[in-house]
Structure 1
Amino acid sequence: MRSLTGVAGCGRMGAPMLRALRAAGLPARGYDVVPMDSPHITDDIAVFSEDLDTLITVVRDIDQTEAVLFGEQNLTAIPSLIRIIICSTLSPRYVRDLRARIPSHISLIDAPMSGAQIAAQEARLSFMLGGDESDLDAAQPLFSAMGKHFHRMGEFGAGMQAKVLNNLLAASNTAMTRLVLDWADDAGLEISALLDLIHTSSGQNWFASGFNSIEFSRDGHAPDNTIAILVKDIASALDAAPENADTSLPETVQRSIAALKPRR
């Protein structure tokens, strides 16, 4: 039986990750509930499951993760499966609890990534990794095919904890950069000149520096877009907040992101 990697969730991130795996010569196929015009992506779970050795989940949220692992797709029941890599950004508490729910012979790695769609398309994602060192070593060829930066954060669940903290900062930068650009419009400043200034000055941040290449930089909040995912990611960070932590600032950022309007 040949070894094969499957990517569940072939949207804006999963599809380019699948392409990167295949471009590196690694046997891989994709699955999505939405039919795709690709010979390497199927909406037939039986076809996807055949010979599946490693499952990479890149679905949107906990509900979709539940469907993939235990529900409609129930991929944890595949006899050939030996490894699950969680790339979706989810609550660290939820991720840690997966260990008790998944058969012990299946190794678990949490590997949320950063860099937006452009980094996935260029195979230069940053992965935040949690899991046993031997499991991470075995899966490294997969990460090397899809990314450029690999941060081993600790045991299973530590990668997700690091990711939601990173995304909390990213969301803060998103909210404040958008506010700054709106105020700059009102002041009559030329936006490209201001972004150039920010990039080389004390206000520099990933969102501002990548404003013209990040695909969602001008979007407003909508239920099915990346801005809404940022709102979800802040909720994941809040779910893992220290006991008695002051959550007023992240909650304010979350409300600001949820209130964003499209920027033309």
Structure 2
Amino acid sequence: MSTIAFIGLGIMGSPMAVNLVKAGHAVIGFNRSPQRSAALVDAGGTAAGSIADAVKDADVIAVMVPDSPDVRDVLAGNDGVFDNARPGALIIDFSSIRPDVTAELASEAMERGFRIIDAPVSGGEVGAIDAALSIMVGGAEDDFLAAKPVLDAVGRTVVHVGPNGSGQTVKAANQLIVAGNIELLAEAIVFLEAYGVDTAAAVKVLGGGLAGSAVLNQKAQKMLDREFEPGFRIDLHHKDLGIVTAAAREVGVISPLGAVVAQLMASARANGDGGLDHSGLLRGVERLSGRTAL
């Protein structure tokens, strides 16, 4: 078993860190808001007062923070991971960030004597709690194999997809697919409600056919209940679609439906829905349809 520093104990990071404790690892967590360490401590982990304290004795350093600047600050910032971790430590970045930033940080990490993989996850809060995440991993094969016991403790589908940055590229594609599915599910539900259909029954039968999906299974009831407590916030999905848009432009790939859903996500955010779960895209469909968002 490893000593693991886990930096970033938010909606996703906290249950992931707890599952690592349950798997037998010694986990030392750090979060800028100290109260977020409570669940980890209750599970048998330890809370650190700084990144330096968290990583100084760690074999593995896991990072789960919101965006590219946050990862850069955690790893390469003043008194961050690179300044305090032991040589040879394995860094696992679970965050979803720009592939080019991942490649730059990986190069710096290796120059400074560390091993590093990018391992963004999909599955939302439920997947994190259930240790059932899908994890797409970029990095050297040896580093992937070294990280596998840690990845298996938090994920169900763990796949090495290529060199550093590849995990982030696959995650961007994942977020494109998920956003499109959520938007179309929202449009379908507003359509069904407008005709007075029994929506619970409709969702059940749709889930049994070709329209069935993990998005429908996890998000339809939230839409029907208008219950948008965040499992994955619109703010973060907006960020991810910005990554998709920029990366697609760099390689000359056209994503017309992706561009539309990126604008709809931006509209939701502009209308004050950024803190809601991404199933809150339903509210945007209601606004466009002249039906007051509840």
In structure 2, the CA distance between the partners of 1:73 and 1:32, relative to structure 1 (3 Å rule), is farther
1:244 shift after superposition: 2.8
- What secondary structure, in the 3-state scheme, does the structure 2 residue paired with 1:211 have? helix
TM-score, normalised via structure 1 length? 0.89
Q: Equivalent residue for 1:57?
A: 63
Query: What CA distance in whole angstroms lies between the structure 1 residues aligned with 2:197 and 2:79?
Result: 52
Query: What CA distance in whole angstroms lies between the structure 2 residues aligned with 1:165 and 1:110?
Result: 15
- With CA pairs under 8 Å and 6+ residues apart, which has the higher RCO, 1 or 2? 1
Match of 2:96 among 86, 89, 102: 89
Instruction: Give the number of aligned pairs.
Output: 261
Query: What CA distance in whole angstroms lies between the structure 2 residues aligned with 1:214 and 1:182?
Result: 13
1:129 aligns with 2:129: no
In structure 2, the CA distance between the partners of 1:100 and 1:227, relative to structure 1 (3 Å rule), is same
1:209 aligns with 2:208: no
Query: What CA distance in whole angstroms lies between the structure 1 residues aligned with 2:92 and 2:226?
Result: 31
In structure 2, the CA distance between the partners of 1:73 and 1:199, relative to structure 1 (3 Å rule), is farther
**Do the aligned partners of 1:112 and 1:159 also contact (CA within 8 Å) in 2?**
yes
In structure 2, the CA distance between the partners of 1:95 and 1:256, relative to structure 1 (3 Å rule), is same
Tell me the amino acid that sits aligned with residue 147 of structure 1. G
1:75 shift after superposition: 1.1
Identity of aligned residues (%): 26
Match of 1:78 among 59, 80, 84: 84
**Do the aligned partners of 1:220 and 1:227 also contact (CA within 8 Å) in 2?**
no
Q: Equivalent residue for 1:183?
A: 191
1:98 aligns with 2:99: no
Q: Equivalent residue for 1:149?
A: 157
Q: Equivalent residue for 2:204?
A: 196
Q: Equivalent residue for 2:30?
A: 31
C-alpha offsets along residues 64-101 of structure 1, whole Å, 9 cap, x if unaligned? 11221122551111141511111111111221122232
1:120 shift after superposition: 0.7
1:234 aligns with 2:233: no
Q: Equivalent residue for 1:164?
A: 172
1:3 shift after superposition: 4.9
C-alpha offsets along residues 136-186 of structure 1, whole Å, 9 cap, x if unaligned? 111111011111111111111111111110110001101111121112221
Tell me the amino acid that sits aligned with residue 55 of structure 1. I
Q: Equivalent residue for 1:17?
A: 16
Query: What CA distance in whole angstroms lies between the structure 1 residues aligned with 2:226 and 2:16?
Result: 24
Query: What CA distance in whole angstroms lies between the structure 1 residues aligned with 2:75 and 2:221?
Result: 33
**Do the aligned partners of 1:31 and 1:43 also contact (CA within 8 Å) in 2?**
yes
TM-score, normalised via structure 2 length? 0.81
Unpaired runs of at least 5, structure 1: none
- What secondary structure, in the 3-state scheme, does the structure 2 residue paired with 1:52 have? coil
In structure 2, the CA distance between the partners of 1:221 and 1:115, relative to structure 1 (3 Å rule), is closer
In structure 2, the CA distance between the partners of 1:94 and 1:45, relative to structure 1 (3 Å rule), is closer
Q: Give RMSD over aligned pairs.
A: 2.6
Unpaired runs of at least 5, structure 2: 269-280, 285-292
In structure 2, the CA distance between the partners of 1:195 and 1:175, relative to structure 1 (3 Å rule), is same
Q: Equivalent residue for 1:254?
A: 262
- What secondary structure, in the 3-state scheme, does the structure 1 residue paired with 2:4 have? strand
In structure 2, the CA distance between the partners of 1:227 and 1:86, relative to structure 1 (3 Å rule), is same
Query: What CA distance in whole angstroms lies between the structure 2 residues aligned with 1:26 and 1:166?
Result: 29
